[in-house]
Structure 1
Amino acid sequence: MNRFLVPLLITCIGSVFITNADNPIITQKYTADPNAIVYNDRVYVFCSNDDNNPSDGFNIVDYTLVSSDDMANWTDHGEVFEVPRDASWCKQAYAPGAVVKNNKVYLYFPDGGSQIGVAVADRPEGPYKDPLGKPLITKSMPNCNVEWLFDPAGFVDTDGKGYLYFGGGGSTPGANLRVIKLKDDMISVDGTALTIQAPRSFEAAFMHKYKNTYFFSYSNDFQGPPNAQIAYMTGSSPLPQFTHKGSVLDNPALNGTNINKGNNNHASIVEYKDKWYIFYHDRRLSDQVYKRSVSVDLVTYNNDGTLMNLTKVTTGVPQIKNLNPYDTIQAETINQQSGIKTDVCSEGGIMVNQIAANDFIRIKGVDFGTDGATKFEVRAASGSSGGSIELRLGKKDGTLVGTCDIAGTGGWTTWKTFESKVENCKGVNDLYLVFKGSGEPYRLNWYRFTSDEGTNVSETGKINQLKKVTVNCSKSIIRTEFQSQDNGTVSLGVYNLNGASVTTNSFVARAGELYSKSFDLSTMPTGYYIVKIISNNTKHVSKVLLTK
């Protein structure tokens, strides 16, 4: 929910863009109303973007997308959906609701509190298309004339059937939420909306399934206390009737202090890697009503199948795996930051910008392996005189393992790759990129580490079975060379920046032999491509520039 709030005293303070913990999960912009999905083994969280909100209301027109595969380092994919750009009939895009079916992402979006549309994409990052060119749900439809026609939440059951939950209202508690069946195409309705009788219902409908039980959650109203809890009910079907069970999340409090100004909340619950997480928003970063931030905590099921109530939230959830620094890391992948912003990159994707001296980015739990890294490469553009990046371990002023000088490139859209030596960079550490220079010294697209022999660290932290790896591109030909350390299948692939496969190849390699494989991309457009070489569940990833 975005628009309808109980009036509270607003305390306006200067914007703060630094946090000493993992919550909120994104701090370079304000986000709210999280809707989490799992797609291709990553968690993606669609969020309302609060950056454009004035101090006394909401002006939400786009959705920010972030993702992670370790629950600690989050990649900012930018604003993937915007109105009226992506739906010409829509003026305000309040809380999003996304769901995956048949490898497609269906993004349900409200036009303020008056109607709901649907956009479709082949991947969470988009691009999204509005297949109907008009709303999917309107107040003129039977039993859809709720006070606030917003907060859509899609749900696909294990049998493949789809449902859409929606609604809310400040003067109609208990009878303002709805569910309607969706046809197989997920962009048309099947039948009439049903009323969900939910005690003190206010907004933020959501559905998830645990074992054979359906959990319908929502935010309750302000007629308490308690106020604006995430309450839940259970049932044996995705359709009413449900039995009220209590609360899964109280209005967020940390160390005994409310960090949400006692105001509204919106949550989604998702399973990832055998753990259950609840994503919600709070005001711990801004202390302002209309500048919210998305956080995440673990949820636990009691022995009787009910949800344990979170009476207090935490500073973050545990990291579930280490980060591989020998993969190409998008610069906008962040665990903690100070000062920076992100924006669309002229090379494609997202970049880090508005960098100033002593700003930093922290990456948590980076596994450099036992041999360690010896070189750092970074893709940067500078329309000024440039600067440098200090690579430090453990803390912002921790052990200095390298300094990479970045010269002016002649413009903010002129990108070049810079490199530097790295020393004493081994084991698992938090990595700090500390930025130096005057004004805005440079902008960053991506970076990576390499070692003397080109070895890579796998996601399990073991040394990769590929050695002496080189990847280069010249005159439309991408050439790879590597040595396999054992017998087994090696898979090679070239992908565009949207993740779509361009060409692949696989073969059985023998231990100790040096292989050279080439790909002819003369029919493909110039630009950047991703090259992946995978052997024994470990991989080498490179980003190359195709020229002609």
Structure 2
Amino acid sequence: MFVATSKDPAADFKVKGFIEGIPSTIDPCVFVDDDGQPYIYTSGAGKGGWGCKLKKDDWSKLDGEMKPMSGFVDFHEAPWVFKYKGKYYMTHSDNHRSNLGGNQLVYAMSDNPLGPWKHCGVYMHPHGEETAHGSIVQFKGKWYAFYHTANYSGTGSLRSVCFDAIDFNPDGTLQVVRNWGTPKGGKSPEISLTKTTKIEAEDFNNGGSHYAYYKRPAEGDIKIETKNGATFLSHMKRKEWVRYSIDVKETGRYAITKKTGRYAITCMVSQNRSGGSFQLAIDGTFVRADKIKVNSATDKWETIEILNIELQPGEHYIEWRSQDGDLNLDWISIAASVNKVPGIIEAEDYDDNGYKFKSGQMGSHKKYRRDQGVAISASKNIIHISNTSNGDWLNYSFDAEAGTYDIKVYAATPKNGRFSLSLQTENGIRYKGICRHS
């Protein structure tokens, strides 16, 4: 890496020298502490950052050895360091995949400019396109987060610089940058597993372009039409989007047959020409890695349901983003998800009517031990049922279309373990057999 200097902050730079000792990395950042000591940080290859002091009188030379720093979680690139009330902050992008909305901006804190660092979480949600780089600076007593989006270009490598105010919590942690607008009417619709909530497409957030919605300048402002008694957003073109705040009241197990502890989101859409598709995101993260295709004929409304979406309690926002074609959106509804076949039934979505030991009445699952319930674990980002014993069992109710099916079970058993699988309809058991893990 080279150092260039100038008396003008935007012109006439001259190369001063090459900084020897920096590994083959990218995204250099320089931070100057209160005592005038400069530091340099770099990153790259989806790995954690490196850091070292620079010589005070010659920033083209290291003052020590460039070393990897510790304590980061999911470090991708784009380090940025600043100081607030005696604490050091390192912001960076994570490895959140492009087909899930792009990198998130996260941060870590330390008592030392070279760490060790403590991961503190996300301060900015994905922007919908590939990478995210950012910085946080103070200007005239206020703090601002600078970052880039690809709204204008629709291409992750063609970026536009944006900035928003950022606030600190009393304990020094960062608040998430609220760049999705505010709910229309001042109150977010409540989402619950016990009801269906319908949001009209035209009731997108307040906040204007780049916050509540994005419409390409060549297309004019966002369009709302009324036709055949329906009011809807019309002619949403490629990479145009709208956002809706929601207030989730509950999640987790739901004790009614066929319904899971997750949500289903249904979109009423139509297309003005064939080949349309869209993506749906919660807090900037797409709920599916692939595009959701619109299959109906032009000018015909179609309901498209996306099942098994996890929503944690609290405030969130839904982003509906057109990806291809020329689409119309009438409404979005959110309700408890129902297991449907053909499809995937997650192991943790068992029927949850409990088990009554005193009366001996069977519920939908057997307790693994009398003092504990079903064990739900996570390993390598896979949520699964664990710690089963001989005689333990689970029931799964689902709706099915008529037809012939192959049933696949994704399981792991030690020591040549085995399990049984039975399929029952309202008329009785249709299949029962013993399965061995291969």
Instruction: Provide the TM-score with structure 2 as the length reference.
Output: 0.39
Larger RCO: 1 or 2 (CA < 8 Å, sep 6+): 1
Larger radius of gyration: 2
Instruction: Provide the TM-score with structure 1 as the length reference.
Output: 0.32
* Larger strand fraction of residues: 1
